[in-house]
Every structure is written in C-alpha cells, then in structure tokens.
Amino acid sequence: MATRNRRAPKNDQPEEAQEAAPEVQVEEVQQEEAPAPVVKTRNASTVESPVKRVWAIADSMPEAKRKDVIAACVAEGIAFFTARTQYQKWKQNQAT
C-alpha cells in the first residue's frame, strides 16, 4: 500500500509580500448569556389535608357539577390537579 506524503502547499510569495498582506481580523463573537429558563413549580395546595378537604367539599355539594366542585376546591387553596383527581375518586366511591 502506497502512502502519500501530505504537505502543506508552499506559499510562493516572498516574505515581504506576505508581511504586507492585510491581516484579516477575526472578531470574536461574544455570546450573550441567555437568561435562566423559567422553571414552573407545581401548584401546591395551601391547606392542610387537601385530599380530605376535597372529599368534604364534594360531600357538601352532591348535586353540583364537577366543574363547580373543582372551582370551589381551588378557591379554598387546593391544587387544581389534586381537586380533579380526588373529585374523580370521590365520584367513583359514590357509585358503589
């Protein structure tokens, strides 16, 4: 197998011409620091025992629509998804 000799190409210009050639200045592009990403925190319930509280609210509003019960829970400081999940479990428990 033959190997090639790889050399850099010769510069045929005399040294004086090389020095006189204008230098191209490479501008370093400074990247601006991107702002830190906004991390959404999960909505936490602000009341004690939010699960029991959802069940109590649902018990007190048996004929209300699901939307109304969940809205009442959120108004009292219970996280939306906690209210939604627990209402569903309460509703399933009522059917049995």
What is the tens place of the pLDDT at every residue in 23-77? Answer: 666 566 666 777 777 766 677 888 999 999 999 999 999 999 999 999 999 999 9
Determine what percent of the chain falls in helix, strand and coil, rounding each to the nearest 5. Answer: 45, 0, 55
Domain range spanning residue 55?
43-96
Is residue 2 one of the residues assigned to a domain?
no
Is residue 63 one of the residues assigned to a domain?
yes
Q: 18: which residues sit within 8 A by CB, 6+ positions away?
A: 11
Amino acid at 70: I
Residue 82 in contact with residue 54, Cβ under 8 Å? yes
Quote the pLDDT of residue 68: 97
Provide the whole-model pTM: 0.56
Is residue 94 one of the residues assigned to a domain?
yes
Is residue 22 one of the residues assigned to a domain?
no
Is residue 3 one of the residues assigned to a domain?
no
What is the separation of C-alpha 78 from the centre of its chain, rounded to a whole number of angstroms?
A: 23
Number of domains, the chain: 1
Is residue 54 one of the residues assigned to a domain?
yes
Is residue 19 one of the residues assigned to a domain?
no
Is residue 84 one of the residues assigned to a domain?
yes
